[in-house]
Amino acid sequence: MGDFRASIPGWLDAVNLESLEHDNAYIFPHDGIAGVAVRHLTLVDIYRMQHPDADNELFKDRFPTFIEFSTRQKVFDDTVNFLWYQSLEYDAKSLIKKMLFRRKIQKIDFSTLYSELREFIARTYMDAIGSSGRMREINISYWSDMTGFIDLMGIEYGWTREETLDTPYRQLIQIVRKIMKRKDPKKPIGSISDDIATRHMLELDKQKGGE
């Protein structure tokens, strides 16, 4: 007997996408955004972008709308800075290379750049703990989240600090979720497809309640 969830609109597509992206995180050493070859985000990359001093519009609580992306100069500047830092062309010592890189980005169709940038960030956070993927619960901070990852991977696999911090986030978060499930098989671990199935079942319950 097949899985009843396969009849839920969008569920099977989400399952197939999750499977593909989980494998892609390991198969492809680099990613691409509108023709720009970029590194996978690491923990250090993510927390650098989220740091208040960075003030990067792409890594705040809400991703910019397309109108903001196409009309606000700061959003575009933040996009260029982000792409430059993640690109395989990155050279911290060359202002000329960065200037030429900016000109290349300016020639890219804005709708393509916006959609692919948004998809890149969504892929990165797809398996992140919490529905938003940003893990922004209000807790007292006794150490950085990066320290938590370093500690966990050191205990579980004997990884060094550098090995943990250099591992692409998309790979690292999959490993962490596997560890969580191994330690507690009953622990629920959500996914996009799970969210689709849950919303569908809630809608069915709502419809039955209205009958």
pLDDT tens for 31-80 read 999 999 999 999 999 989 988 888 999 988 889 999 999 899 999 999 99
Instruction: Categorize the per-residue pLDDT at 137 as very low, low, confident or very high, splitting at 50, 70 and 90.
Output: very low
The backbone torsions φ and ψ at residue 38, rounded to the nearest 5 degrees and listed phi first, read: -130, 155
* pLDDT at residue 140 in the model: 52
User: d(Cα 208, Cα 51) in Å, to the nearest integer?
Assistant: 47
What pTM was estimated for this model as a whole?
A: 0.78
Burial class (CB in 10 A: 0-12, 13-18, 19+), 21: middle
The amino acid present at 27, given as its one-letter code, is I
User: d(Cα 167, Cα 191) in Å, to the nearest integer?
Assistant: 21
Count of alpha carbons within 13 angstroms of residue 84, beta-carbon side:
22
* pLDDT at residue 102 in the model: 96
**Each residue's pLDDT tens digit, 178-208:** 999 999 998 888 888 888 888 888 888 888 7
